[in-house]
Structure 1
Amino acid sequence: ITSIGPGAAIPGLQAIAGMAGDNIGVNGLEAAVEDAATGLWWNAQGGQWTQSAAGPLFGDAQANMQGPPSNLNWNLQDNPAGALANLTSNLITGNTYKIYIRARDFSGNLQNGFASVQFVWGGGQPQPGGVYYVDGISGDDNNSGDSPSSAFHSLNRAVSAAPAGSVIIISSGVYHENVFISVQDLTLRGLPGAVMDGDSNGDGVPDIQTGIMVNGASGARLEGLALRNYQSGLLAGNASGLNVSSCVFTGNTMSAVQVNGSQNVNIAWNVIGGGQRGIEADGDNLRIRNNTVYANTGTGISVSAQSGYEVKNNIVAGNQWGILVNMPSSIDYNDVLDSGDANYGLMVASNTIPSSGLKGPHDISVDPDFVDMSNNDVRLYEGSQCLGAGEGGLNMGAYQGAGVVYTPEPLVVEHLCDIGGWGTEAGRFSAPTDVAVARWGSALYVTDSLNFRVQKLTVDGRFLGEFGSFGSGPGQFGGPIQTAVGVATGPVSGDVTQGGLLYVADPGNWRVQLFLADKYLSSFGTRGTGPGRFEAVSWVAAAPRTNTVYVSDEVLNRVQVFSALGVYQYAIGEGILNGPRALAVHSPGADDSEATLYVVDGGNNRIAVFTGTTLSASWSGDFAGASGIHVDNNSHVYVSDTRGWILVYSGGGRYLGKFGAPGPGELEFQQPKGLATDPAGYLYIADNLNDRVQKVRIMGTDLTAPGPVNPAAAYVSPWYALLNFNAPGDDGGAGTAAWYDVRFSSTSAITNPEAFEAALPSYLPYPPRPAGSGEGIIASGLEPGHTYNLALRVYDESGNYIQTPNLAVTTPLKVPT
């Protein structure tokens, strides 16, 4: 392979190829082109070139090329069959590429290995112009501008000096200018930190109308520039061959990129947001690919084409309108999720008509999961559904590779204790399937499936009671209890609802049973397919404030919703879910009107998220072994996997990490299932085949314990003590604590953590008040005529706590008069 052209910037690439021993000639050439700057590939497939993160994927670049091998010529710029037209129009002048070619004979034999050459693309034409430099810090407009050391100071000086075909390289700096391009084939290339700013006064109001104007000049290229705070960032008219790539447009009050009456326009790899209108393109053969267009008060992308256009691989999010076009053409592989009128619209005369029919077969409408859109950081977090979802396996949007900025740190997980172990005795389990924390951490309920019972323990594992046996009567369970007590924890969410009702799935009897104060109350459900009936009681969950109850049925592929006492309300997910299993509910508001339901949708290998009856999100991933799900007070979502680990996500579906491995040791699991958290954020995991519950703490960045507290016994009755103190904060003396845990012991002083965990819980639940408020809580469960040791722990939501000194009280023998 040989290259031709002046210097390093070549007008084209010529290949001379043949196959040894084949006197007939070469039937075809297969080729792939690597972009040295991005690592992306252009691959010849089906007579066209497509971009991909994978390569080389060899395909036909030119076929049916007959003649002696020595006379076979192939030119990258001017391929006789036209198959390369859409490649050369996308190569960037001055960029470095490497082409790989191998030959094929008429028998289908391929050349052994391939030939390659690295080249700098010259735009298909010799460049009569030169290279000029601009440095807004150290440059001088009296310099020659032909080297970095003799750079011009201003952009306008460079543009006025540069003839057609020139490249202007712009150093880091802020340039308060507007530029008018009138010569052909001029390239403005910004180095990192090169910014054009239309607000020269710094008052937040543009005083320069337009950043860059292109009028009647073909072949203009803008690369790597940031344009901000203009009325119009780029305004181009009759600018055929315009290429805008790798630029950032923010805060332009009217339009970021506006192109009128132009042909063969390429707008790609740009970030455009925070203005009124994103991309407006009018003309023919318009290609708009891999842009991130966000948070514009008007339209994200608007296209008015004469015959055809291509809008692919873009993220268009948070705009008033998504994509508006005047005619159908090629829209696909975009993420379009907008906050105003519609995702897609058809412009007819002076009207815009919402038109969902314009949505491409591979378009999606999901939260792209930007790092921080409010601060114009629209890189993608790891776990974004836009990663790899574009054509050819590219990311959607403007970032490739470097856009994946969030790689979670390994989770730091502390094993606190094991609860249980195999057995039939009190406090021991046989295949526990679920775990739930009562309101304010007052008890831990464990579904002891093969012992056909539910056990009640302290959060440290001390046995408090049990209920249930095998059978079909009230309070009995038929067959293993596959899943158990409802959802959520503590003050916001919990497997035990605010009213103290406990819901237990009884799949062997096709029903859900209700318990109040550990006593059977009622049940609902029978076998069948109608409303309120079940073919499988797969999981039960309860919204924490209204006691709305959700029951999944993986045979009938639905989740049914009931009132607190089991009156059927409506169904969720019919026609959407496939084998729904575990459920979790989160309610961030003062009531359950904003409740979010998370469903392990087994047959679809995803987590389905519903707001009301609407599927509001779908988390893709490896959920083939997902068996349990739980959401805590901080909107962290935990998913257990029967293969031996626990996955952690944000409430919006961002992957935060995982921990665990198969086995019997600490932080090892064998078919983990149900999960729960207490108000301090400690996580409880039903470790099914290890016959135990593991209690763990996931360490975070908050390591500050609540402030000091010193309770006093204000009143002691025969059966309780009233403790008074000033509320501590969440972090030291600020904020609001998450949980008060009072313990008592009649045998020993509570002077260390071990003694506290061995003591009994003794209080009625009280939500902590803000720091400095007066508190009065009751330590209950005492008996007349005894001396008791009391201690209080105050927790924050991150598991940090402070433990008070031992407080001794003696209860009177009779009620004082």
Structure 2
Amino acid sequence: MVCQQAHTNADSGRRRRDEFYREKRQLISALFNTHASNFPVTFVFADGRSIQLELFACKATGTFQSFGISSATTGTTTTTRAPVCSLQWIAIGTTVAGVTNNSSTDTSRLNTPRDVFLDTVNTLVVADTTNNRIQRWTIGAIQGATVAGQADGGVGTDATQLSGPEGVAVDPNGNIYVADTVNNRVQLWPLGATQGTTITGLGLNSPTGIAYDANLNRLFVADTGNNQVIQYTLSNPVVSAVVAGTNAAVPPNPLNAPTGIFYDAPSDSLIIANRDANNIIQWFLATNTFLVLAGDPAGTAGTALNRLSAPRGVTLDSNRNIIVADTGNHRIILFAFGSPTDGTKTGRIIAGTGAAGNDD
């Protein structure tokens, strides 16, 4: 009899607990306003009370502006400051293509890769420069597949060959555009093709970086040796024009061996890794004007966080932070987009240590 009573009391307790949690689950709904600059999130309770959290974006400096919580019933607001952003880059990288300190023409190896493109089907397309080929790597695979050039690393000038390619881009249809650097030409390799066709080769001098604009079907090529960027409108016939730099000496031309380029559609501008000027330039195509986004406007190299040394690559992330391959300093550095543009903007190292090495 005692045991039965204990069992009954336990059942009663579980029922009360279950009813309590069912009630709690019905208390709350969430409203997200993604159009506001500070991204407020409002929780509304069944009894009419509401609580609003104001979530502020992580800054490139690694800090939050603030994190606010307000209650509509009391009208009070509490705000706390976070000294560092809780979202941090992992300091130790993971090899996703090739083998550390082991170069060859084997399909599992790379040799001096100079550019990489993540295509629409989530595979890496790599300019395997010293192997004179372009490799496609499915993420997680231990081997790549040759999609342009010769798998055995053969070098040459005919349509099936490449020589020291340093830039690659892929359009939404899977067509591959290659800056065939030593051959001073740009090659188009259609999806699945065994040879390329020359888009242009006249007047180029060591082309490196390459970027594709899917909206207007334009290709941008860093004509590195000529200190300029050329735009190719991929119509029939192809129309070309110099859109950044002047093929002139430095100065007055602000470009000095432009290498990596990124097309920013919202501003219709090019973000340029200005290698020998040790800075990053934004070039506005409509007005033919430019800003120095990072590094020294005067071109001085350095190791401080507001300086760069021979940057070869640049991109923007989804928050429009500028991510730079600071080659001479053996590091990847992140800068907030926008002002200041006077050389005082400091970045944050997100990969590398500043010293060369297999673990850099």
Following TM superposition, by how much is the alpha carbon of 1:550 offset from its aligned partner in structure 2, in angstroms? 0.9
Structure with the bigger RCO (C-alpha within 8 Å, sep 6+) is 2
| CA spacing shift, 1:664–1:561, aligned 2, 3 Å | same
Who is 1:573 aligned against?
200
1:342-741 map, 5 Å: 416=61, 460-461=89-90, 463=92, 465-466=94-95, 467-469=97-99, 470-478=103-111, 480-481=112-113, 483-486=114-117, 496-519=118-141, 520-523=143-146, 524-526=148-150, 527-543=155-171, 545-565=172-192, 567-588=194-215, 594-612=216-234, 613-619=238-244, 620=246, 621-634=253-266, 635-642=268-275, 643-652=277-286, 654-658=288-292, 659-661=294-296, 662-699=301-338
Who is 2:347 aligned against?
none
1:73-152 map, 5 Å: none
SS at match of 2:115: coil
| CA spacing shift, 1:675–1:578, aligned 2, 3 Å | same
What whole-Å deviation, never above 9, does each CA across 1:73-103 have from its counterpart, x for those lacking one? xxxxxxxxxxxxxxxxxxxxxxxxxxxxxxx
Residue pair 1:550, 1:559 contacting (<8 A) in 2 also: yes
Following TM superposition, by how much is the alpha carbon of 1:462 offset from its aligned partner in structure 2, in angstroms? 5.1
| CA spacing shift, 1:536–1:652, aligned 2, 3 Å | farther
Residue pair 1:501, 1:517 contacting (<8 A) in 2 also: yes
Separation (CA, whole Å) in 2 of partners of 1:502 and 1:564: 15
Residue pair 2:226, 2:257 contacting (<8 A) in 1 also: no
Following TM superposition, by how much is the alpha carbon of 1:416 offset from its aligned partner in structure 2, in angstroms? 3.3
| CA spacing shift, 1:636–1:689, aligned 2, 3 Å | same
Provide the TM-score with structure 2 as the length reference. 0.59
Separation (CA, whole Å) in 1 of partners of 2:309 and 2:325: 10
Residue pair 2:225, 2:257 contacting (<8 A) in 1 also: no
Separation (CA, whole Å) in 2 of partners of 1:415 and 1:660: 16
Following TM superposition, by how much is the alpha carbon of 1:656 offset from its aligned partner in structure 2, in angstroms? 2.9
Task: Report the RMSD for the aligned CA atoms in angstroms.
Answer: 2.6
| Structure showing the higher strand proportion among its residues | 1
Residue pair 1:415, 1:666 contacting (<8 A) in 2 also: no
What whole-Å deviation, never above 9, does each CA across 1:742-800 have from its counterpart, x for those lacking one? xxxxxxxxxxxxxxx9xxxxxxxxxxxxxxxxxxxxxxxxxxxxxxxxxxxxxxxxxxx
SS at match of 1:465: coil
User: Bigger radius of gyration, 1 or 2?
Assistant: 1
SS at match of 2:187: strand
Following TM superposition, by how much is the alpha carbon of 1:614 offset from its aligned partner in structure 2, in angstroms? 1.9
Residue pair 2:243, 2:285 contacting (<8 A) in 1 also: no
| CA spacing shift, 1:644–1:461, aligned 2, 3 Å | farther
| CA spacing shift, 1:561–1:499, aligned 2, 3 Å | same
Structure 2 segments unaligned to the other structure (5+ residues): 1-58, 63-86, 247-252, 340-349, 351-360
Separation (CA, whole Å) in 1 of partners of 2:338 and 2:115: 28
2:116 is aligned with what amino acid?
Answer: V
Following TM superposition, by how much is the alpha carbon of 1:651 offset from its aligned partner in structure 2, in angstroms? 3.6
Following TM superposition, by how much is the alpha carbon of 1:509 offset from its aligned partner in structure 2, in angstroms? 1.1
Provide the TM-score with structure 1 as the length reference. 0.27
SS at match of 2:116: coil
| CA spacing shift, 1:638–1:566, aligned 2, 3 Å | farther
1:664 is aligned with what amino acid?
Answer: T
Separation (CA, whole Å) in 2 of partners of 1:475 and 1:566: 22
SS at match of 1:508: helix
1:654 is aligned with what amino acid?
Answer: N
Structure 1 segments unaligned to the other structure (5+ residues): 1-413, 418-457, 487-495, 589-593, 701-756, 758-817
Following TM superposition, by how much is the alpha carbon of 1:568 offset from its aligned partner in structure 2, in angstroms? 3.3
Following TM superposition, by how much is the alpha carbon of 1:464 offset from its aligned partner in structure 2, in angstroms? 6.3
1:500 is aligned with what amino acid?
Answer: N
